Structure 1
């Protein structure tokens, strides 16, 4: 049996097109809606965000021979609860022909080493409820479901206005100044009488 050697390399301008090819395969594999498809605008934004002075994400590509077969991407945020950095594993993807060969596990181990090296207090990831294979993979490798529901909001779809049933800070300040004014008026009337 021939040994498979997976080389993991950091996303660079030279391998960026390979990353986009892998992401396109990933999006196709999950049967995603049109909002997740990669267009020129998103590709340019991914490139700018990866190679800016303060990159918004990190990505690593797995390569066997000349073929790019996997990637993992993540972000570092901060946990005020732990007072430590937090590692958010966004995606690990292995193309179909190379699954069940230990590549996903190798990419996951790589991410764990990165989190430890960066001093992270926790590794977070989100798995779609219907992806039983991914849930099994992560749970059998030490991930524990934490009983939280993650939400996603598209800020372009939200109309910002007065919250229903709740007082805004501006409402509070108006009410407070009206109440002060009412007290001053009553004091003035009492002083006149």
Structure 2
């Protein structure tokens, strides 16, 4: 593992094409590229418009984006506190194993603490063994007693 200088920052509208590229890459990695409906125009409005619905972190090395995390704030009635939902975490294949994902999760944990959030939650594909192992190494609990539910509107 090489010693690289990873910089984490919030994405801006100027990063729109890079964010969209990462979303496409993650959809392809997960096997859902055919189901991707988001467009750059939609992302510009929903991520960088007047009332953003989510935020994006970019991880960079030498000013080159190599990974992203897309997240938003939620609320837990059980905790009576806000939480963060991590919707996407993707590291380019050539940068995996170099602590980029760890850096993104650490940055997100700092944001969570600063905003009085009590937890960060996300899903991981049951076939993503490397991802599951990574998350467990970060101290995440993989909850087997919950199922993702979805209603299309």
Do these two structures clear the TM 0.5 threshold for a shared fold by scoring above it? Answer: yes
Question: What is the rounded CA distance, in whole Å, between the counterparts of 2:6 and 2:80 in structure 1?
Answer: 35
Q: Is the 8 A contact 2:16 2:43 kept in 1?
A: no
Aligned equivalent of 2:81: 84
Give structure 2 stretches of 5+ with no counterpart.
none
2:135 matched to which residue of 1? Answer: 138
Q: State the 1:46 CA deviation.
A: 1.2
Structure 2 counterpart SS, 1:24: helix
Q: Which residue of 2 aligns with 1:35?
A: 35
Asked if the contact 1:27–1:37 (Cα under 8 Å) also holds between the matched residues in 2, the reply is no
Deviation (angstroms), 1:152: 2.1
Q: How does 1:89-128 map to 2 (within 5 A)?
A: 89-128=86-125
Choose 1 or 2 for highest CA Rg. Answer: 1
**Equivalent position of 1:151 in the other structure:** 149
Q: How many residues are aligned here? A: 152
CA distance in 2, matches of 1:145, 1:66: 34
Q: TM-score, normalised by structure 2?
A: 0.90
Moved over 4 A (4+): none
- Higher RCO structure, 1 or 2 (CA under 8 Å, sep 6+): 2
Q: Normalising by structure 1, what TM-score?
A: 0.73
CA distance in 2, matches of 1:145, 1:9: 27
* Contact in 2 for aligned 1:4/1:64 (Cα 8 Å): yes
Shift of 1:145: 2.4
| RMSD between aligned residues | 1.7
